[in-house]
Amino acid sequence: MARSVFALRAARALCTTANSSSAPSSSLRTLSKATLVGRLGREPEVQQWDNGRRSLSLSLATNVSERDESGEYTQKTQWHRVFVRDDTTGFDFLSSLRTGTLVYVEGELRIVSRVSADGARAQYVNVSVSRREGGTVRVLDSRKDEDSDEMRDSWAPF
């Protein structure tokens, strides 16, 4: 019940009243956000752009349980592409993560259209993480520090 009240309040907060003459008297702001919890399918790749900026490419796997025709539950893996901009706090730490690390990702959905060499058109849904857009990546795994026997709690807003 508390979650539904929170969702309703959040939806109402998106509704704004514009007072300018060029905008309608009432408009609805939209939201395109994704929240994922999954494991890295490969080590992050750092990409250097011509303008000096960097981005991080993550391959994230999430599992979905579905019931098949016989009534048995099976798990299916869904893969997600996540791009982290270099303004994200902890960017250098995130680039050092290993395959299999459990992460929480919150970012904006972006649809990218591509045309292959044979002319086939494809669309991909990516998740873009930027501090400017309110995105975040958090490490959920506690992992052993290589130089110490202590466990390091990695749940921190990076």
Domains and CATH numbers, the chain: 31-153 (2.40.50.140)
Tell me phi and psi for residue 92, to 5 degrees: -65, -35
d(CA 53, CA 41): 24
Residue with tokens 């857009």: 133
| 23-48 tens-digit pLDDT | 444 566 778 899 999 999 999 999 99
Q: How much is the pLDDT for 143?
A: 56
Question: How far out from the chain centre does Cα 149 lie?
Answer: 31
- Does this model's pTM top 0.75? no
More confident residue, 15 or 129: 129
What number is the average pLDDT over the span 6-19? Answer: 48
Q: How much is the pLDDT for 72?
A: 92
Q: How much is the pLDDT for 13?
A: 54
Q: How much is the pLDDT for 90?
A: 86
58 class by beta-carbon count within 10 Å (0-12 exposed, 13-18 middle, 19+ buried): buried
d(CA 35, CA 22): 34
